[in-house]
Amino acid sequence: MKLSELAEKLSLKIASHTEGMNGNITGAYSSDLLSDVMANSKVGNVWITLQTHINIVAVASLKGLAGIIIVGNRQPQPETIEKAEAEKVTILTTSHTAYETAGQIYQILST
């Protein structure tokens, strides 16, 4: 499924790198521990987190993730957005919790 389709179904707001919305997602990974994401997420996953600081961009970029969904109405910091544009990392936001977001994605991807 394309990231854009998922974003539409979940009413996600785009915070950076709109071009990345055409990318395909292979699944999702939910974690707020950055080393855990690097160890256990898969290439092309969309990453669900409440972290908003600049280092999430490097994690997503180095791991080859499809995008980041920041939950709970949190907003990425300005320097995070700037870095994400430069590194071509798509960041989306939602008012829903990580639990709700993961649950919705799980349902969408398994049907």
Partner 1 sequence: MTPEINGNVEGSFQLIGGNFTNAGEASTQLKMKLFEFGVDDAIIRRAAIATFEAEMNVIIYAAAGQLHYYITPENIKIRVEDMGPGIEDIEQAMQEGYSTAPEWVREMGWGAGMGLPNMKRNSDEFMIESVVGEGTTVHMTINLNE
Q: Looking up tokens 């920041």, which residue turns up?
A: 70
In the list 16, 30, 45, 51, the residue contacting partner 1 (rule: CB under 8 A) is 51
Residue 32 in contact with partner 1, rule: CB under 8 A: yes
Residue 87 in contact with partner 1, rule: CB under 8 A: yes
> Tokens standing for 35?
């080393």
Given a contact cutoff of 8 angstroms between Cβ atoms, the answer to whether 63 and 85 are in contact is: no
Q: Looking up tokens 């974690």, which residue turns up?
A: 31
Residue 61 in contact with partner 1, rule: CB under 8 A: yes
Tell me, by CB under 8 A, how many residues bind partner 1: 22
Residue 63 in contact with partner 1, rule: CB under 8 A: yes
Residue 49 in contact with partner 1, rule: CB under 8 A: yes
- Pick the closer one to partner 1 by CB: 34 or 108: 34
Given a contact cutoff of 8 angstroms between Cβ atoms, the answer to whether 29 and 40 are in contact is: yes
Report strand pairing: 13-16 vs 27-30: unpaired
Of 69, 58, 23, nearest to 44 by C-alpha is 23
- Pick the closer one to partner 1 by CB: 78 or 110: 78
Q: Which residues of this chain interact with partner 1, rule CB under 8 A?
A: 32-36, 38-39, 43, 49, 51, 53-55, 57-59, 61-64, 79, 87
